[in-house]
Structure formats: C-alpha cells, structure tokens
C-alpha cells in the first residue's frame, strides 16, 4: 500500500468523538444494525478468527477506520450474557432480586467495565510502545483507535463466553463435584478459554500494519500454561470457586 500524504488531510484516528457519538446513537436504532453480519462474525471467531480480521482490513479500506461503526456485536453480546446468566440463576435457585443483581453485575462488570479497562490498557500500550516509527515525515501517523481496542476485546471475549458461560453451564454438575477429575476438567476449560482469549487478542493487533512486536500479546498464554498444572496439583477448582461467589 502506498503511503498517504498528510497534506490537506486529517487522519481518521484524530477524530474519535464524531465516530464514537455516531456509534452510541446507533445502539438504540435496531434497524440500522447488521444482525446477520454480527452472527457471521461470532461464528467465525470460534472457528476461523483470521477470516474475521481479514474483513477488518476491508473495513479499513472502505470506511477509513479499523473499528466497527455498528454496535450490533455489543448489543447482541449483552443479550447473550443476560440469557446465560439468567439460566445460571434459574438452575441454582436464586431469588428474583439476587438474579437481577447478578445479571447486572455480569453485564456491567464482567463485560463492559472489564472491557473498557482492558481496551484502555491495550490502546495505551500499543500506541505508546508497539507502533513502528515512520521515518518519512510526510506519511500520516497511524494510531490504534480506542474503539478498535474495545472491538478486539469483544471479539476475544466471545469464544471465552461460549466456553465459560455456555459449555460450563451444561457440565457444571460435573465441574462442581469433589475429586481430582472435576478439578482437572475445570482447570483445562479455563486454560483453553483464557489462552484462546489472548490468542485472539494477538490476532486483533497483529493485523494492524503499523504495529510491531505484537507477539507480546501471546506471552500471557505461557503464564497460563505454567500456572494451570500448579492449580491442578493444589486442588483448586475455579468453577466451584466462581459458583460459590455468585450462587452460595
């Protein structure tokens, strides 16, 4: 791709406010959301995530921004979280008041607040330390959009949701039991989910041509692989621990 000159142009990454304002306005406009494409993305994030980020390149070429301008993914994801958390509350006999509190905390804390914090950290890290220096002063300086960092988190978190909210729900009677096998199975489930999250995080930033040393995002996988056997040997069951926090 030929370098773009900065004469007479303002790069899209310095105009975040109008893009973000338009993004928020479209949240309440269901008919303007591309629901079919959102489900296509969710499916391929679990089966072939590289295809999703190939389409991210196309989006940059057509819309001149890396981030999605359609909030459908976030809206549908929140609905999935509400349904999954409600199923847990029904299965474990929680009261209506406690169920509402659990649903709100999962959507607002586990997904939105955690996503905002993680996206902000990754946005700061990539822009401060991982961007390649451009020796040509006439080339537009490219930066990671904060909204794109949040998109990467959402993409990465969806397969984790499938494993730790959906799959875990159906095998939870086995996982919360006592014994070595439930401990082993629970830790393996969490190890795969967390490792896949960081792998997708890596893919999300590796697709940006102006970033360097994006393998940094793969380092947490090594830490997870090291810690998992230690947790298994210690008898720690992450599923039972989380269940005791919310459904004791």
pLDDT of res. 3: 42
Residue-level length of the chain: 248
pLDDT category of residue 13 using cuts at 50, 70 and 90:
very low
pLDDT of res. 145: 92
Phi-psi map region of 179: left, alpha, beta (phi>0 left; psi -120 to 50 alpha): left
pLDDT of res. 123: 97
Residue 7's SS3 state is: coil
Per the domain annotation, does 4 fall within a domain?
no
pLDDT: is 133 or 44 the higher one?
A: 44
Determine the Cα–Cα distance for residues 192 and 159; give it in Å rounded to an integer.
10
pLDDT category of residue 70 using cuts at 50, 70 and 90:
confident
pLDDT category of residue 65 using cuts at 50, 70 and 90:
confident
pLDDT of res. 221: 97
Average per-residue pLDDT for the chain:
87
Rounded (10°) angle between helices 168-175 and 180-206: 150
Paired tokens of 61: 């070429």
Per the domain annotation, does 3 fall within a domain?
no
Per the domain annotation, does 110 fall within a domain?
yes
Number of domains into which the chain is organized:
1
Per the domain annotation, does 34 fall within a domain?
yes
66 and 145 Cβ atoms separated by less than 8 Å: yes
- The H or E element spanning position 112 is none
Domain range spanning residue 208? 12-246
Average confidence (pLDDT) over 75-80? 95
pLDDT of res. 39: 96
Per the domain annotation, does 7 fall within a domain?
no
- Euclidean distance between the first and the last CA atom of the chain, given in angstroms as a whole number: 57
pLDDT category of residue 14 using cuts at 50, 70 and 90:
very low
Per the domain annotation, does 5 fall within a domain?
no
Of the given ranges (138-142, 149-153, 184-188), which has the lowest mean pLDDT?
A: 138-142
Question: Which of 27-31, 117-121, 207-211 is the most confident on average?
Answer: 117-121
This prediction has a pTM of 0.87
106 and 114 Cβ atoms separated by less than 8 Å: no
pLDDT above 70 as % of the chain: 85
Per the domain annotation, does 43 fall within a domain?
yes
Per the domain annotation, does 146 fall within a domain?
yes
pLDDT of res. 67: 86
Give CA torsion, residues 191, 155, 108, 28, to 10 deg. Answer: -160
Checking if the pLDDT of 10 tops 80, the result is no
Checking if the pLDDT of 122 tops 80, the result is yes
DSSP state of 31: G
Rounded (10°) angle between helices 72-91 and 35-47: 70
pLDDT of res. 9: 40
For residue range 219-235, what is the model confidence (pLDDT) as tens digits? 999 999 999 999 999 99
pLDDT of res. 62: 81
Checking if the pLDDT of 6 tops 70, the result is no
Checking if the pLDDT of 40 tops 70, the result is yes
pLDDT of res. 8: 40
Determine the Cα–Cα distance for residues 73 and 82; give it in Å rounded to an integer.
14
């Amino acid at each position: 791709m030929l370098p773009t000159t900065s004469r007479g142009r303002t790069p899209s990454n310095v105009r975040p406010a109008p893009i973000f304002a338009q993004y928020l306005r479209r949240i309440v406009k269901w008919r303007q959301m591309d629901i079919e494409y959102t489900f296509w993305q969710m499916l391929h994030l679990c089966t072939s995530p590289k295809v999703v980020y190939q389409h991210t390149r196309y989006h940059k070429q057509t819309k001149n921004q890396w981030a999605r301008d359609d909030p459908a993914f976030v809206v549908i994801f929140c609905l999935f979280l509400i349904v999954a958390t409600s199923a847990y509350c029904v299965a474990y006999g929680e009261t209506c008041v406690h169920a509402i509190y659990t649903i709100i905390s999962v959507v607002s804390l586990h997904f939105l607040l955690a996503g905002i914090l993680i996206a902000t950290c990754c946005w700061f890290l990539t822009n401060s330390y991982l961007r390649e220096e451009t020796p040509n002063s006439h080339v537009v300086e490219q930066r990671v959009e904060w909204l794109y960092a949040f998109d990467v988190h959402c993409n990465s978190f969806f397969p984790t949701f499938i494993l730790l909210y959906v799959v875990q729900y159906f095998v939870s009677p086995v996982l919360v039991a006592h014994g070595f096998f439930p401990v082993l199975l629970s830790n393996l489930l969490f190890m795969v989910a967390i490792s896949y999250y960081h792998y997708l995080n890596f893919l999300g930033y590796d697709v940006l041509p102006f970033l360097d040393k994006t393998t940094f995002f793969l380092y947490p996988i090594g830490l997870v692989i090291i810690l998992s056997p230690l947790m298994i040997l210690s008898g720690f069951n992450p599923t039972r621990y989380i269940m005791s926090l919310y459904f004791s």
